[in-house]
Amino acid sequence: MIENYDSVDVFIGVDVGKGEHHAVALDRSGKQLFDKALPNEEAKLRGLIGQLKRHGRVLFVVDQPATIGALPIAVAQSEDVLVAYLPGLAMRRIADLHAGEAKTDARDAAIIAQAARTLPHALRSLQLADEQVAELSMLCGFDDDIVGQITATSNRIHGLLTQIHPALERVLGPHLDHPAVLDLLQRYPSPAALKAAGTTRLGNRLVKLAPRMGRRLADEITRALSEQTVIVTGTNASSIVLPRLAEQLAALRRQRDEIAVEVERLVEAHPLHPVLISMPGVGIRTAARVLTEVSGKDFATAGHLAAYAGIAPVTRRSGTSIRGEHPSRRGNKILKRTLFLSAFAALRDPVSRAYYDREIAEGKRHNQAIIALARRRCDVLYAMLRDGTLYQADHQLTA
């Protein structure tokens, strides 16, 4: 529920866009006060809000609070008006209740405004932006992009090595995340170049960045090279591509390490850092994701947070023939994945492990037990964030 909702006199629904937005404003009786498109510019947004503030207290509602909706939210907050957003799923369901099948910015803005006026429970409040959280959100998004590029580049290297020399791929493939192997592929980018270098030279090159495994890996590379005598078609071209891919992968990993340093700095500077890190299975990256996905949003209960994350079970029942609870396919996928991986990491904690083992003993599969554990941990996390208290070692994850 939006705080001070009962005091609102004007409801502005904004369908945000890259170049321009469409705004519809209604008073409490439903009378239309504004219905126009306006550019994505601060001056125009301030003018609209200033004009409508003359009618009373304003609630400013958007359908997208981030990216293209960031400027409207920032302007509205600076104008000291109430701000909220209407989640996409809720908007689609509400849109189905309105006549017509047209999909226009004007219609969407009108639906948002009507929902703001008549369905306050469908709205999600937005608190004043936290500069640290805003920076974390941008850095985490960039980190996600880098991870995708790392995966694609790594798969490409695996594919090329498998194509030209499967035995060599079996040796180097498991170590593509090591800088020594990427350096080696840049210096000796083909089976012929590796063979010509010899075991001793390969070992000398590898031990510079991998002192513990360098010599052993050089021996394994030499043995793998001896298993194949034929030259596969495309090997010459791969010797041009492989060093560039290895260089690209090394650069991406360096970028991710640099981003990790900045993320750690921001997380450690946040007031909730000690609260989050005190929970088993929560590290810097998990804490960063919890902050970016939960901060600024208001959840009435732990159940609301679990539903938002998509880890609350969904009950489906039809008469007496179909009944049961099933995993939700909705929710915030980033937060769901974060809580799932955090629960998995927490299996080293005795309390979490005991709950997981009990779920397995009851017949649940591994993923089902992890989701159940994540749901219980979500209740504890909600209480910790609400009260600002540290995790207690004697917390019991009881059913």
How do residues 18-50 score in pLDDT, each as one tens digit? 889 999 999 999 999 999 999 999 999 999 999
Burial zone of 363 (CB within 10 Å; 0-12 exposed, 13-18 middle, 19+ buried): exposed
Does 395 reside within a domain? Answer: no
Of 233, 265, 297, the one marking the end of a domain is: 265
| Whole-structure pTM value | 0.71
Residue 10, pLDDT above cutoff 60:
yes
Give the per-residue pLDDT at 123: 86
Are 138 and 254 members of one domain? yes
Is residue 118 within 8 Å of residue 98, measured between CB atoms? no
Are 207 and 255 members of one domain? yes
| Paired residues of 314 in beta bridges | 326
Share of the chain above pLDDT 70, in %: 92
Are 233 and 147 members of one domain? yes
DSSP state of 98: S
Alpha-carbon distance of 9 to 117, in angstroms, equals 9
Does 185 reside within a domain? Answer: yes
How many distinct helices (H) and strands (E) make up the chain?
16, 8
Of 265, 284, 314, the one marking the end of a domain is: 265
Share of the chain above pLDDT 90, in %: 72
Question: What are the tens digits of pLDDT across the range 92-136?
Answer: 888 888 777 777 999 999 999 999 999 998 888 776 555 778 889
Does 20 reside within a domain? Answer: yes
The pLDDT of 376-388, averaged and rounded, is: 93
Give the per-residue pLDDT at 291: 92
Give the per-residue pLDDT at 323: 53
Does 342 reside within a domain? Answer: yes
Alpha-carbon distance of 123 to 62, in angstroms, equals 10
DSSP state of 221: H
Look-up of token digits 């020594």: 180
State both tokens at 70.
């960031």
Are 311 and 342 members of one domain? yes
Are 313 and 378 members of one domain? yes
Q: Which CATH number belongs to the domain containing residue 67 in this structure? A: 3.30.420.10
Does 398 reside within a domain? Answer: no
State both tokens at 265.
């700095």
Name the domain count of the chain. Answer: 3
DSSP state of 348: G
Residue 324, pLDDT above cutoff 70:
no
Q: Which CATH number belongs to the domain containing residue 203 in this structure? A: 1.10.287
Alpha-carbon distance of 299 to 315, in angstroms, equals 21
Are 173 and 50 members of one domain? no
Residue 236, pLDDT above cutoff 80:
yes
Q: Own/partner pairs for 211-216, CB < 8 Å, 24+ apart?
A: 214/180
What is the β-pairing status of strands 325-326 and 314-315?
Answer: antiparallel
Is residue 264 within 8 Å of residue 242, measured between CB atoms? no
Are 261 and 138 members of one domain? yes
Alpha-carbon distance of 40 to 158, in angstroms, equals 45
The pLDDT of 234-263, averaged and rounded, is: 95
From edge to edge, which strands make up the β-sheet containing 58-62?
32-39, 20-27, 10-15, 58-62, 82-85, 124-125
Question: What are the tens digits of pLDDT across the range 52-90?
Answer: 999 999 999 998 877 788 899 889 989 999 998 888 778
Question: What are the tens digits of pLDDT across the range 252-271?
Answer: 999 999 999 999 999 999 98
Are 306 and 226 members of one domain? no
Are 251 and 193 members of one domain? yes
Alpha-carbon distance of 186 to 244, in angstroms, equals 7
Of 265, 285, 315, the one marking the end of a domain is: 265
Does 104 reside within a domain? Answer: yes
Does 393 reside within a domain? Answer: no
Q: Mapping DSSP to helix (H, G, I), strand (E, B) and coil, where does residue 375 land?
A: helix
Question: What are the tens digits of pLDDT across the range 125-168?
Answer: 776 555 778 889 899 999 999 999 999 999 999 999 999 999 99
Give the per-residue pLDDT at 330: 75
Are 260 and 212 members of one domain? yes
| Paired residues of 32 in beta bridges | 26
Residue 399, pLDDT above cutoff 50:
no
Q: Which domain holds residue 299?
A: 273-387
Are 124 and 75 members of one domain? yes
Residue 391, pLDDT above cutoff 70:
yes
Does 399 reside within a domain? Answer: no
Rounded to the nearest angstrom, the gap between the alpha carbon of residue 69 and the centroid of all alpha carbons in its chain is 18
Is residue 145 within 8 Å of residue 315, measured between CB atoms? no
Are 121 and 140 members of one domain? no
